[in-house]
Structure 1
Amino acid sequence: MRGVTRASALPVLRTLPWPTLAAAGGVGLLLAAVPRLTDGTPGTGPALSLLRCVALAGALGLAFLLDDPARHTTAAVPVRRLARQALRAALVAPPVALWWAAAVLLVPAEIRPPVGDVTLEAAAVCLLTLAGAAAGIRLTDRARPGPGVAAGLLASAVLAPLLLPERWALFVPVGDERWAAAHDRWALLLAAAVAAWGLYGAERVGRHR
C-alpha cells in the first residue's frame, strides 16, 4: 500500500489546484503586506484582523484541494480515499507553511500579534475547511465540492462573530481577558476538525463490501 501511495505522489502533485492555491496565497501576502505599504503603522488590532483575513484567504484556496474531476475513476484504485486526501494535504503542507511564515514576517514585529495563537486560529480554519470538503465528498457524488465549501466558509466567517454568544467568542482582540479561553476553544475546534476529516474521509463500509 505504501508503494502504491508513493507511486501516486507525482501524478497527484500534477493534478493539485496550484493556480487556485497561488491566487489565494498571493491575496493573502498582499493583505499581510498592507502595514508596510501604508504610510502610517496600524496598531496590533488591525494587524490581527489582517492576519485573520490572510488565514481566511489561504483556507479559501484549500477549499478546492480535494476537488478531483476523476473522482469516480480514482475510486477504483487500491488506495483508500482518506490516504489519497492525506497525500494531497501532505504535498501542499510545506509550501503552505512557508507561505504562512512569510505572511507573519511581513507584519512589522512591533505590531505583530502573538504568533502561536494566530497560527492556531489559521490551522483550525484550514483544517475545518478540509473537513468540510471531505464531508462534501462523503455525503454527495460531487467531484468538485470546493465552490460550496468556499461559500460556506465565507458565510461562517461573516456570521460567526455576529451569532456566537460572548462566552463562546472566538475572534477576540489582543489583550482581551477572554484571549486565553478563546484559544482553548480554537484548539478544540482544531481537534474536532481532525476527527471530522478522519470520519468523513473514509469510504462507507457498504461500498467495500
Structure 2
Amino acid sequence: MTGTRPAGDTPVREARRGILLQLVRPVARTVPWRAVAAGGGLGLLAAAVPRLSGGEVTPWAGVNALRAAALCFALGAAFLLDDPARQTTAAVPVRRALRHALRCALVLPPAAAWWTAAVLLVPEEARPPAGDATLEAATALALALAGAAFAVRRRGAGRPGRAVSASLLAAAVLAPLLSPADWALFTEPDDPRWADAHGRWTLLLCGALLAVTVCCAEPVRRRTLRTPRSPSRP
C-alpha cells in the first residue's frame, strides 16, 4: 500500500509554489541591480589593479586586491533589501524570509560568476588560495545582508542600504587597526597565522548567516490585552 497524503496538503503547497513563482518577476524588477552592478564593477577594477600596474606582483598585493573587490561587491549588495514599497509587499501571503531569499537567489548566480572573474584577474603567482579568499568574500557579503536584514526587522526601513554600506565600510577600515594581534583576520598567505585567521573567518561567517536567518523571520507582534469595561463605567 502506498501512503496517502493528507487532504489539502498538495493543493496548499501548489498554491504557495504558484504564488512564489508569480513573485519572481516583480521581485526581480525591484532588485537594485544598479547598486549591485556598481559594486561589482568597482570590485573588478580593484581586482585588476595588480595586473594593470605592471611589474612583479606580491602575494600581499594579490590578497588585498581580492579583499578590496569583495568589499566593493558587499557595499553594493548592502542595497539588496532596499524596497520603497515594503509596506505594500508586506501584505503578500508569502513570508518575509521567502521574499528575501528570492532576492538573494536572483543575485547569487551573477555574484558567483563575478567572483570567478575577480579571482582570475589576479595574476596566478600572486593569487591567494581560492577557497580562503572565497570565505572572506562570502563573510563580507553575509555581513552586508545581515545589517540590511536587521535594519528591516528593527525599523522597517525601506532603504537600509546607504546606512549599512557606510557602517560596513567603516568597519572594514577600522577592523585591521583595532583588532588584537592574537585575533588578526587580515593576514597574508605566507603568514603562519593564515589558517587560524580563516578559522575565525568561518566563525564570523556562521554568525552573520545566523543573524540573517533570525532577522529575516517575521517579527512577532505582541497583542495588547484590554481589560473589559464594566457596564457601569463610561
Cα distance, 1:36 vs. partner? 2.1
SS of corresponding position for 2:221: helix
Normalising by structure 1, what TM-score?
0.96
Identity of aligned residues (%): 58
> Pairwise mapping of residues 31-50 of structure 1 onto structure 2 (< 5 A)?
31-50=46-65
CA gap of 1:201–1:104, structure 2 versus 1, over 3 A, is same
Q: Taking structure 1 as reference, are residues 40 and 207 closer, same or farther at Cα in structure 2, changes over 3 Å only?
A: farther
Flag the 1:31–1:148 CA change in 2: closer, same or farther, 3 A.
same
Which residue in the other structure is 1:172 paired with?
187
User: CA 1:175/1:208 → structure 2, altered by over 3 Å: closer, same or farther?
Assistant: farther
AA in 2 matched with 1:5: L
- Deviations, residues 78-103 of structure 1 (Å, cap 9, x unaligned): 11111101100000000000000000
Decide which of 205, 210, 217 is 1:190's aligned counterpart.
205
Q: 1:179 offset after TM fit, Å?
A: 0.7
Q: Matches of 1:208 and 1:22 in 2, distance apart?
A: 43
Structure 2 match to 1:57: 72
User: 1:125 maps to what in 2?
Assistant: 140
The 2-side partners of 1:175 and 1:39 are apart by 22
Q: CA deviation at 1:141?
A: 2.7
Decide which of 73, 85, 92 is 1:77's aligned counterpart. Answer: 92
Select the structure of larger CA radius of gyration.
Answer: 2
Distance 1:34 1:180, change over 3 A: same
Paired residue type of 1:135:
F
Distance 1:208 1:200, change over 3 A: farther
Q: 2:214 aligns with which of 194, 199, 204?
A: 199
Deviations 1:106-150 (A, max 9, x none): 111111111100100000110111011000001113200000100
Q: Match of 1:205, SS? A: coil
The structure with higher relative contact order (CA 8 Å, sep 6+) is: 1
Gaps of 5+ in 2: 1-15, 225-234
Superposed CA offset, 1:4-25 (max 9, x none): 1111011111111111111111
Q: Give 3-state SS (helix, strand or coil) of 1:144's partner.
A: coil
Q: Is 1:15 aligned to residue 6 of structure 2?
A: no
Moved over 3 A (4+): none
Deviation, 1:41, is 2.6
> Is contact 2:50–2:65 with CA below 8 Å preserved after alignment?
no
The structure in which a higher percent of residues are helix is 1
